[in-house]
Structure formats: structure tokens, C-alpha cells
Amino acid sequence: MVCALGMSRTGTSLTMRVLNLLGVYLGPEEGLLGARPANPEGFWEHYRLMRLNEGILRRMGGSWREPPSLPDGWETAPELAEERALGEALLKETFEGHELAGWKDPRNCLTLPFWQQLIPEMRYVICLRNPIDVAASLDRRDGIPAATAFDLWLTYVASALAHTAGRPRIFVSYESFFDDWALPVERLARFVGREPRADPIREAINDRLWHHRTSPEEVLADARLPSDVKSLYLLTERLHDAPAEPRPA
């Protein structure tokens, strides 16, 4: 099972589509969230699993916009018994019988401990994009103020890194698909053990949808960026396109 993680507007949909074209099964087509104006190429996201994630966050007192405080061991709470049963049934119904399958939902950055109970062996693709462009995209789509977007970026990225530490994972930057699409595609193909399919993947990468393009220098110079966000951004810059983890001995 391959799980793509990342804050909203970091290229999780594009990454999941590339993985799909590499042979990762996403579930029945009718179960995927359809295209919308904010994402005209499609989300490549399983609708019922996304709704379950929303339910988990509500049960814990929050939402994707207002992440709840999740203490250690929250995923085993008795009040989540119904969600665990539903999650197990959904995973079996959606993916059973497929050798290579996966799904994505930005909310997984927050709820991953819940899913790791149900699927202990997973591989992770962490999608990265700078917080300035993420904030601009969230403002355009949802009217979310920059300060709130920066806090969300920090929470989601930090959670994704923490919950996947020591597990098989790879980092992919949104920008890398447009700089030289073949390089991230080759890395993803190696990670999932499949051969790249150049033509359909090239067609899936539409740079007309890349609306916000801030350079690393401009990101670091932006006075709006809080110091903790800037520090994590500098860390993620070093992770861009790094070898898969854990690295071979």
C-alpha cells in the first residue's frame, strides 16, 4: 500500500495521478472524488476514505482547517471503535486483491496513526511545496488568510514527517514535476517497483495549472513567514528529491 501525504495544494493530486499511471490501483473509478474548478484534472482521491477522515477529525474535536490536538495514543481511543470498523471494511472493499494499491488525502497527515493500525506495512510519498505558494493557493481557493495557511502548512508537514519517521518514504517536490518531469517520475517508479510510462505521464503534467511560482530566495525573504515555518521549510528544501528512506545499509 502506498500513501501519498502532503498539505493541501502541494501537488498530492498530481503525484497520485502519476503513481496511478505507474500502476498503483486507486480503487473503483466511481469511488474517486470528481474534478472541480479548483482541481480540474481531478483529485485522484477516494471519496469515502476522505469522508471517514473528516469524521475522525470531527470526533476528535476539529477539522482539516482547525486540526485538533491529538495526544499520544489517540488512535486507540474506544470512541473511535466505529471508525476503525468502517475503515477496515472500506480498505478491504476498495483494495483487496490488488498487489499494488494506494490512496491519498491531505488529512492523512493528521490521522495517519489511525490508518497505521489497520495497515502496518505502508510506503509513503511525501509531497512538498513552499508555504508561500501554498498560502496563495489556499487564499485563491478557500479565502484562507496567509497566517492561518502558514500554521496549517507547519502542522501538516510536521505531522507527516513525524508519523513516517523510520518507515519507507520518499520526498517529491511539486516544482520538480515542472523542472524536469522525468526525474521525479523515475524516482517514484523505482520506489513502487514499476517502469515509467512516458507518454501518458507527460500528458498528465499540465504546467498551466501551476499558478504560484515563488523562488526559495523569495520565500525566505518574505517577512510574513514565522520563524518556525521558515525553519521547517529549510529542512524540507534539503529533503527535496533525496534518496528514499530508510537508505540501504
Highest mean pLDDT: which of 41-50, 54-63, 205-214?
54-63
- Cα–Cα distances (Å) from 47 to 4, 67, 84, in that order, read 15, 20, 17
* pLDDT above 70: percentage of residues in the chain: 89
Rounded CA-CA distance 152/135 in Å is 9
Nearest CA to 117 out of 63, 173, 56 is that of 56
pLDDT at 183: 87
Sheet arrangement for strand 123-128: 102-104, 2-5, 123-128, 169-173
This prediction's pTM:
0.89
Whether the CB-CB separation of 110 and 159 falls below 8 Å is answered with: yes
pLDDT at 248: 42
Task: Walk me through the domains of the chain, giving residue ranges and CATH numbers.
Answer: 2-239 (3.40.50.300)
pLDDT at 196: 74
Nearest CA to 15 out of 159, 204, 141 is that of 204
Whether the CB-CB separation of 126 and 242 falls below 8 Å is answered with: no
pLDDT in tens, 13-35: 889 989 999 999 999 988 887 76
pLDDT level of residue 198 (50, 70, 90 thresholds): low
- What is the grid cell recorded at 142? 478557500
Average pLDDT, the chain: 89
pLDDT in tens, 79-135: 999 999 999 999 999 999 999 999 999 999 999 999 999 999 999 999 999 999 999
pLDDT level of residue 249 (50, 70, 90 thresholds): very low
pLDDT at 127: 94
Rounded CA-CA distance 248/236 in Å is 21
pLDDT level of residue 176 (50, 70, 90 thresholds): confident
* Low-confidence winner among 37-41, 43-47, 137-141, 184-188 (lowest mean pLDDT): 37-41
pLDDT level of residue 39 (50, 70, 90 thresholds): low
pLDDT level of residue 151 (50, 70, 90 thresholds): very high
